[in-house]
Every structure is written in structure tokens, then in C-alpha cells.
Amino acid sequence: MTRECDVVVLGMGTCGEDASLRLATAGVDVIGVESRLIGGECPYWACLPSKSMIRSANLLTEARRAHGLVGAVDVSPDWGVIASRIRSEITGGWDDSAGVSRFESRGGRFVRGHGRLVAPRVVEVDGARIEARRGVLVATGSRPFIPPVEGLEDVAYWTNHDAIEVEELPRSLVILGGGPVGCELGQVFARFGVAVTIVEGQRLLRTEEPEVSQLVHEALKEDGIDVRLGVRAQSVESDGDSVAIRLGDGNTLTADRIMVATGRRGDAESLGVTAAGATTTKGFIDVDGTMRAGEGLWAIGDVTGVVLLTQVAEYQGMIAVEDILGGDPPPADYTVMPRAIFTDPEVGGVGLTESEARAAGHDVMVTVKDLRATFRGWIHRVGNEGLIKLVADPEEDRLLGATVAGPHATDVMGFLALAIQERTALRNLVHTIYAFPTFYGAVGEALGAYGRGLVRVLDPDTAPMFDDPESRIGV
């Protein structure tokens, strides 16, 4: 049996679902194919449930911090409350029937199964053939990368799926990987009494500024997490009750559970994309600026390997849909890429890091401001650890990158992303009126936008970026 349609959307994760809905709303005859759940990782095992867990853990810690400001507060944490909310409210019991109904109500046709390309514009799903008149949009996401550690495949290791679905916490947990997932979930579990160890071969959050890595390292230690840096797991074995992890430095860790958080990998070859004219690199589909991977073939999201973030997937989907509909979208530009890490302190970053800016040949000016030495940070008091790092090119009169760590950092980052995207002149940022006292206003303090004399009261040793009226940009 052969079905026909205008477009096949192969993979109905977050970006695939959104793209299929937009195409169907535009009157395109769409067939959506998904082997797991419509919505994918983000609503069921990543963005939404993990941030719900983080919200609960942060509330618990804020209550414990309250004695410094309001007196004694007693809290009795209960993981069952969090697990119940994840199961019933956030994920809906890992049931995507609402997503299926939403898609079909727009005129889409849904097929549950494993799909792969067998020819240009032709997808086969568990033996059934679908031919697309316009083409195929691939949005199948990525898979956890499991490092080649001796014995790891023989133990019941966790991925983010197991961590999100856990009903009863283990007494102890070793996490392989100190990236965003390992740091975020490790902190959550530690705050609920789990003895957590994070093993990372380099530094925590290694793609972020080194000052942030150190800040988060100290925060995790405060939560009782044992952080092992510069070392990797060599072998793993289990006796059925616990897991033993032998490290490269000769030490052995023992825990109830082991979790793998060492990144994601592509699996494009299993999709048969080369049969449709696409090329791949390290398991990811190669695309151009309009997300085209071949004649009548587009790819978006993690499967492209560009940047494995939900916001990037949605951005790519917007471009691909416009191209499929016959528009003329501007090619993708990833220069200004906002990043959000929901540790405590939160970390928000956008644009180039200092090392990236210097490597690109920019004439770099940098300032780093301790958030505790800003007016809002000082008022906040407990839980006010953080920093603001600004990387500018005074010759080009613009910010190149910014990193904010601390309370609400991922929201403060928003206006900085816009400033970098629009190449806002530094003099305009300095002459902006910032509400006082606010966390975003702390960026103004770091720039020297106001109170250049007063800011030295809290921070006598650090000058704002533009402290001198005869500065290089004449602010």
C-alpha cells in the first residue's frame, strides 16, 4: 500500500511537531511519522520536566537559606511530590494523545512507527510506503552518547530518561559528564539527599567561560557534590546491588546508580538519508542555510548537528517551513546563540566567549563583575553568588559576547542577546537608563552606565568597563 501527501515530516519532536502544525495550518497535506512520542525529548524527558525538578530543588534550598533573612524555617522534602507532578502534570503520564489530536485537528495524518528514506521523496514506515510530492522534512533528533567504557553496557545505567522518570531516589549516584545535564540533575538529586559524584574529563560546563565553571564548581561543592575533574571512567561493573566505577587515576567509586550524561550523538545513517541524496558528517545530516539537505529534502533540529538546543531547532524549523512553502527565508545565522543552564546559580550566555573573540582576531575589552558587589546582589544577600562578564570590541563599538550567572541570569541574558544581535553601539548601552536596583541593571553597573562613583562603595577593586570619561569609545 502506498500513501501520498505533499510533505512527510519524519520525526515529530518539538521542532518537527511545530513545523508539521505550521505546514498543516497553511493547507499543506502533511503526514507526520513518529516512533515514540509527539513532542520528543523536550516536554517528556528534558526541558520541561527537568526544569520542574529544578524549581522544586531551588525552593527547598531557598527555604534552607531563609534563616539568614527571616528566621528559622522547617521543611520536610518529599520526592514523591515531585515525581507525582512530573508524571501527572508535566508529562501527562508520558502520553502524547493530546499531541496526536492537535495535529490531526489541523488536517494532518499521523503514522506511528519507524520511518526511513528509501528514495528521494519516499519514506517507508514499517514496510508501508509514503510518497511526498513536495518533499520530506527530517526532524528525528539525537540519541544519548554512551562512551566506550569497559563494562558500561553490562550495567543498568541511567540516561536523562531514567533520571526524569525516577519514582524513588537512590542513596548514591555517580554521574559521568559535567555538562549542563549532569550539573543540573546532579544538583537536584543532591538537594534531595542523594550522595552525588560528578566525573568530568575536563572542567565543568567546558564550553562556557572559565569563571562560570569555577563558580558552578563551588556551588555544587556547597551542595555536597563530590566533583572529580580531569579524570574519566575506565571500567564499570555491578554486583547487582551497587555499581563500581574505576577511574583513570586509579580510584574506584561505588554507588547505587550510575548516570551517563556525556552528550548526544547523531544517527542519520539509520534513516537512509543518503538514498535521498543527502550527505552526513559524524552521524548528522549536512544542511545549507535554508535547511536543505538535498532535492526535496530538508532537515532541522539535533539531527543537523549544528547546535543541539531546542531554540536552535525551532529557529531552523521556521526557516525550513518558509522555504517549503515557497518563500525566500534569510539563511540561518548562528552567530548570536543564547544559552541557558539552570544550575543554581543560573548561567546565561550569548555570543562569543573571551577566548573565541580573541581567536577570531578581535581587539577585545573585557570586564567581570561580581554579582554580590552589585546593588541588587547585595540586597539579595543569600544565594547571590554570580557574575557578569562582558566581552566587547571598542574599535567596532559593540558587544561580542556576554555571560551572566546568578539569580534570574537566563532572563537577564535576553536584552544582551538583542543588543548583540542588533550590534547596538556600546555608547548606547552605556547611556541607557536601567531600572534600579535590578539584576539587569547590574549589567549597567558593569558597563559604567551609572553611579560610577557609588559602585565603588560595594566593589572598590573593580572598575566598570567604561570608567574613564576619555575612554576608547568616548562614552
**For each of the chain's 475 residues, which pLDDT tens digit applies?**
799 999 999 999 999 999 999 999 999 999 999 999 999 999 999 999 999 999 999 999 999 998 878 888 888 999 999 999 999 999 999 999 999 999 999 999 999 999 999 999 999 999 999 999 999 999 999 999 999 999 999 999 999 999 999 999 999 999 999 999 999 999 999 999 999 999 999 999 999 999 999 999 999 999 999 999 999 999 999 998 999 999 999 999 999 999 999 999 999 989 999 999 999 999 999 999 999 999 999 999 999 999 999 999 999 999 999 999 999 999 999 989 999 999 999 999 999 999 999 999 999 999 999 999 999 999 999 999 999 999 999 999 999 999 999 999 999 999 999 999 999 999 999 999 999 999 999 999 999 887 666 666 677 777 777 765 445 455 5
Domains and CATH numbers, the chain: 2-39+96-142+266-324 (3.50.50.60), 152-263 (3.50.50.60), 339-458 (3.30.390.30)
Cell numbers standing for residue 358? 580573541
Taking alpha carbons only, the member of 88, 89, 41, 120 closest to residue 298 is: 120
Going along 145-247, which residue ranges are E strands? 172-176, 195-200, 226-229, 233-238, 243-247
- Dihedral of CA 105/111/114/115: which sign? negative
Question: Rounded to 5 degrees, what are φ and ψ at 34?
Answer: -150, 130
Alpha helix (H) ranges present in 259-380?
Answer: 310-324, 354-359, 375-380
Going along 336-406, which residue ranges are E strands? 339-341, 346-351, 365-370, 387-393, 398-406
State the pTM of this model: 0.94
Looking at residue 92, its amino acid is: G
